[in-house]
Structure 1
Amino acid sequence: MKNIFRTKPIESLLAETKGKDGLSKVLGSFELTMLGIGAIIGTGIFVLTGIAAANYSGPALVISFIIAGLACGFAALCYAEIAAMVPVAGSAYTYGYAALGEFWAWIIGWDLILEYAFAIGTVAIGWSGYFTSIVADLGLKLPTAITKAPFEGGLINLPAVAILVVITGILVAGVKQSATTNNIIVAIKLAVVLLFIVLGVSHVNTANWHPFMPYGWKGVFSGASVIFFAYIGFDAVSTAAEEVRNPQKDLPRGIIASLIICTVLYIVVSAILTGMVPYLKFKETAAPVAFALQQVGINWGSALVSVGAICGLTSVLIVMMFGQTRILFAMSRDGLLPRVFGHVDQRFHTPVKSTLLVGIITMIVAGFTPIGVVSELTNVGTLAAFIIVSASVIVLRKKEPDRPRTFKVPFSPVTPVLSMAACAFLIFNLQKITLVRFAVWLVIGLVLYFVYGYKHSTVSGDNSIDESAM
């Protein structure tokens, strides 16, 4: 069974990107940065800020964002080095295959499938909430039966399903079209976030920041674990590595630039938000930014923010679903999942079958699952992926020290170790039930790997077993 630790040579990974099942190279650093912002700025600001402030951090939400941002910063540096060195679809799954071996690649790939499926579900549910609010403002109240999951008193969250149908169609059409659509939407939502900052800063009441840390440091750390969901965007940037024109330069720029821009915006918005409205009031809403403006009487601004939130969450859906399809595509191309999903359509030059499968699965998640369950499952998956990527940097530095690296993690191996420690710390601050659900998912994945993936892997084992990865 030691063949489960067989690695896939980087040369083999790179060679696959040039065949008929390789993806078109159409993205530059600007598109990558916009993809990152598209994924990062969305649910974190427009949905989860209220949940985290009311239930975990209080006004100390600012500190929670700083903690989560630091953990992501360490991980982003690791992603930047390895993505530039191995510009292949699959993100952490592919990096784990090259550095740690097939078994760990499967674990993280299976983990990423969970991460993205539930991330997409969370965002689609948030999108539905804002859409329902806007429709209600126009005088049309949609019935609970078609706007809530069965566990929340409804039958199906139909708006969440409908937007995923649209996003699936956009992604089938092609990556260039998807990137262009994303660029336009990101520009709109950045304008809305800046508008909120301008309108809200003059309505900050410093009395609302007292008590600053009502739930103590435990609440701050738990809040950081919850809003960590907001930062998974740069992982999605790395899933596009195979479709980048100059990955050695553009990938590090896109990953790091998007993280810096979004972290600054998160800190500023969370400070203003908790200064405008007492933190406990956010228990009353799933749309905290629009709610805050309503509370201070800026109803027209609230309406604009709701429209911006719809745009923001739409761009998150585009990038998240894009990332999910590329991971499924990479795992299928390697034979660990049915090869049919690793096929590139010759008309659209996209993995159409994997895109349709992801679309169907996420529609089921968004239509029938409560938001509290899906968001925390996403966080544990993201944090586990970051740990694997950070470990891969250390291993590849040892295994292939002479391989060219256009970007190097500073102070390695200290920085990757700090990344792993920070992510592990945040995992243990999640709810126990979340960790139990995650463990069950991994057990299901292990059964699937040994029943199917191990036997159908395209890696020969004879040529690629590397004892150092064990």
Structure 2
Amino acid sequence: MGQPENPTSPTSTTQPPQTTTTTILPITTQTTTTYNKKLTLIPLIFLIYFEVAGGPYGEEPAVQAAGPLFAILGFLIFPFIWSIPEALVTAELSTTFPGNGGFVIWAHKAFGPFCGSLMGSWKFLTGVINIAAFPILCIDYMEKLFPVFGSGLPRTLAILFSTLFLSFVNYTGLNIVGMAAITLGIISLMPFVVMSLIAIPQIQPHRWISLGQKGVKKDWNLFFNCLFWNLNFWDTVSTMAGEVENPRKTFPKALLMSVILTCLAYIIPLMAVTGAVSVDQNEWESGFMAVAAEIISGKWLKIWIEIGAVLSAIGLFEAQLSSCAYQVLGMADLGFLPKFFGVRSKWFDTPWVGILISTLITLAVSRMDFTDIVASANFIYSLGMLLEFASFVWLRRKFPTLKRPYKVPLGIPGLVVMCLIPSAFLVLIMVIATKIVYLVSGLMTIGAILWYFLMNYLKKKKWCVFSNGDEIEDGEEMLSS
């Protein structure tokens, strides 16, 4: 199988003998092979975990929307409909094209530079909008312990300084972020383990079917959006593939372990709390897990879970900021952005320009109303995922002989079926969107298209220095041989 890159072969783009394992060299070696500190398996597992979940802190609205039975079934079944197919796609494509840029590379290789740029814009906008929510979530939980952060200048300053501090931590290195993810993941999950164990003697299985309310109208929009929000973003870690030690072996293992960890972290506390606590279904709002902890064991456990929520939000911020920053780096390497956007820190080897840009946009977005903005982020994320599934299937057809270190064991008809099921769910998410979401998402997409033509204009006029991303096309003839 071998290593994905060979930095000592500067002529690898013109030597035909290594046809199926070196054609990606032009897009992966510029910034990812001269550094020794690489992400290993365990930090990568927890980074993926924080890309997707970070704990069961957002699953409560599913119970409020559809009751305990549908919530439990949703978190049991939805991973097979959505999480596993997305993780399988990410595993195959990240190991085949292990460079910073991830899904941008996949869309580019499948359908050309326009689709690659559009994919990058959609995913980046989704990422920074999500990042902006986490410092606010931190302060919301801090507010319960320190009411001074409830409003006004103290709240604004707290969000500002927490964002800047967490961005600086990200700047200090991906290995630091990876080790922090392990620590934050273990600490934030521990109170749920304790709560679930304490709840066992109190569980009454009939509560898993109904909490006792009759005639409660189900909110399927909220229910499906809750499942989608809590179990997506498996592909975002692909933008850091160039920073992973032996990604062709490490990525599939890390994705498998993180899928198992994430699903267990959702379903075990959900079954424990719904079985042990008898409250009105309408009480299951975001943050109810902390209230349930106090009912089950006392205020000490509630405080522990609230602290865990803050730590989880920190982990989510760090993981997703890393993905956005390395996506910017990868797009610069590919020639979609000026070369300056790919500059790394001399001290920490991190893409400081990508971190800075992501942080500034995050601060701007954090002052907006999130209701429609986050819904719009889901909408354009869905557009990006439809393009990603199409790229996956088309790359199999376009390059049937390309060596894939990890390969989903299905033929093209099977892959189409595998991708059609989650794609149908994506279409459902978009169909039930509001008019304002259509408007905001449409404006974002128009902006993404204009951005592509602006970059081409700057490249044509030579007003900015761009990397030679066209080298990607040089290997396509070899890829198909």
Out of 41, 49, 53, the residue aligned to residue 29 of structure 1 is 41
SS of the residue aligned with 2:38? coil
Give the aligned partner of residue 12 of structure 2: none
Q: Where do 5+ consecutive residues of structure 1 fail to align? A: 1-8, 149-155
Q: Deviations over 1:90-128 (max 9, x none)?
A: 221121112221111111111111111111112222222
Shift of residue 214, structure 1, vs aligned partner: 4.2
Out of 4, 26, 35, the residue aligned to residue 15 of structure 1 is 26
Map 1:346-365; keep pairs closer than 5 Å.
346-365=346-365
Rounded Cα–Cα distance in structure 2 between residues aligned with 1:23 and 1:376: 40
Give the aligned partner of residue 57 of structure 1: 66
Rounded Cα–Cα distance in structure 2 between residues aligned with 1:191 and 1:416: 40
Give the aligned partner of residue 378 of structure 1: 377
Shift of residue 435, structure 1, vs aligned partner: 3.6
Give the aligned partner of residue 122 of structure 1: 133
Q: Which amino acid aligns with 2:341?
A: F
Q: Where has structure 1 moved over 6 Å in runs of 4 or more?
A: 465-469
SS of the residue aligned with 1:422? helix
Give the aligned partner of residue 436 of structure 1: 439
Rounded Cα–Cα distance in structure 1 between residues aligned with 2:439 and 2:76: 27
Report if aligned partners of 1:293, 1:302 keep a CA contact under 8 Å in 2.
yes
RMSD of aligned alpha carbons: 3.0
Rounded Cα–Cα distance in structure 2 between residues aligned with 1:304 and 1:184: 15
Give the aligned partner of residue 94 of structure 2: 83
Map 1:210-229; keep pairs closer than 5 Å.
210=212, 214-216=216-218, 219-220=219-220, 222-229=222-229
Q: Deviations over 1:71-104 (max 9, x none)?
A: 1211111111111111111221121112221111
SS of the residue aligned with 1:209? coil
Q: Which amino acid aligns with 2:403?
A: P
Rounded Cα–Cα distance in structure 2 between residues aligned with 1:212 and 1:147: 43
SS of the residue aligned with 2:294? helix
Report if aligned partners of 1:165, 1:359 keep a CA contact under 8 Å in 2.
yes
Rounded Cα–Cα distance in structure 2 between residues aligned with 1:20 and 1:461: 15
Q: Structure 1 459/176 Cα, relative in aligned 2: closer, same or farther at 3 Å?
A: closer
Q: Where do 5+ consecutive residues of structure 2 fail to align? A: 1-19, 460-465
Q: Which amino acid aligns with 2:182?
A: N
Report if aligned partners of 2:52, 2:230 keep a CA contact under 8 Å in 1.
yes
Give the aligned partner of residue 40 of structure 1: 52
Give the aligned partner of residue 152 of structure 2: 145
Q: Which amino acid aligns with 1:83?
A: S
Out of 199, 211, 216, the residue aligned to residue 209 of structure 1 is 211
Q: Deviations over 1:203-257 (max 9, x none)?
A: 44544534599445xx446512333222235323322210111111101111121
1:133 is the counterpart of 2:144:
yes
Shift of residue 328, structure 1, vs aligned partner: 1.4
SS of the residue aligned with 2:59? helix
Give the aligned partner of residue 316 of structure 1: 316
SS of the residue aligned with 2:149? coil
Report if aligned partners of 1:390, 1:417 keep a CA contact under 8 Å in 2.
no
Identity of matched residues, %: 20
Give the aligned partner of residue 103 of structure 1: 114
Q: Structure 1 63/160 Cα, relative in aligned 2: closer, same or farther at 3 Å?
A: farther
Out of 449, 453, 456, the residue aligned to residue 452 of structure 2 is 449
Give the aligned partner of residue 6 of structure 1: none
Rounded Cα–Cα distance in structure 1 between residues aligned with 2:116 and 2:402: 21
Rounded Cα–Cα distance in structure 2 between residues aligned with 1:410 and 1:441: 37
1:244 is the counterpart of 2:244:
yes
Q: Which amino acid aligns with 2:305?
A: V
Q: Deviations over 1:419-460 (max 9, x none)?
A: 344234244334223343222210111111112246537444
Rounded Cα–Cα distance in structure 1 between residues aligned with 2:443 and 2:215: 34
Q: Structure 1 94/161 Cα, relative in aligned 2: closer, same or farther at 3 Å?
A: farther
Q: Which amino acid aligns with 1:77?
A: L
Rounded Cα–Cα distance in structure 2 between residues aligned with 1:131 and 1:201: 29
Q: Deviations over 1:303-340 (max 9, x none)?
A: 11111111111111110100011111112222322321
Rounded Cα–Cα distance in structure 1 between residues aligned with 2:160 and 2:291: 25
Map 1:249-398; keep pairs closer than 5 Å.
249-275=249-275, 276=277, 277-283=279-285, 286-296=286-296, 298-366=298-366, 368-398=367-397
Q: Structure 1 377/410 Cα, relative in aligned 2: closer, same or farther at 3 Å?
A: farther
Rounded Cα–Cα distance in structure 1 between residues aligned with 2:154 and 2:230: 24
Q: Structure 1 198/21 Cα, relative in aligned 2: closer, same or farther at 3 Å?
A: closer
Q: Structure 1 299/132 Cα, relative in aligned 2: closer, same or farther at 3 Å?
A: same
Moved more, 273-282 or 116-125: 273-282
Rounded Cα–Cα distance in structure 2 between residues aligned with 1:179 and 1:317: 12
Report if aligned partners of 2:373, 2:440 keep a CA contact under 8 Å in 1.
no
Report if aligned partners of 1:67, 1:224 keep a CA contact under 8 Å in 2.
no
Report if aligned partners of 1:31, 1:179 keep a CA contact under 8 Å in 2.
yes
How many corresponding residue pairs? 441
TM-score (norm 1): 0.84
Q: Which amino acid aligns with 1:123?
A: F
Where relative contact order (Cα < 8 A, 6+ residues apart) is larger, the structure is 1
Q: Structure 1 213/229 Cα, relative in aligned 2: closer, same or farther at 3 Å?
A: farther
TM-score (norm 2): 0.83
Question: Greater Rg, structure 1 or structure 2?
Answer: 2
Report if aligned partners of 1:394, 1:416 keep a CA contact under 8 Å in 2.
yes
Report if aligned partners of 1:336, 1:454 keep a CA contact under 8 Å in 2.
no
Give the aligned partner of residue 153 of structure 1: none
Rounded Cα–Cα distance in structure 1 between residues aligned with 2:75 and 2:345: 41
Q: Structure 1 263/112 Cα, relative in aligned 2: closer, same or farther at 3 Å?
A: same
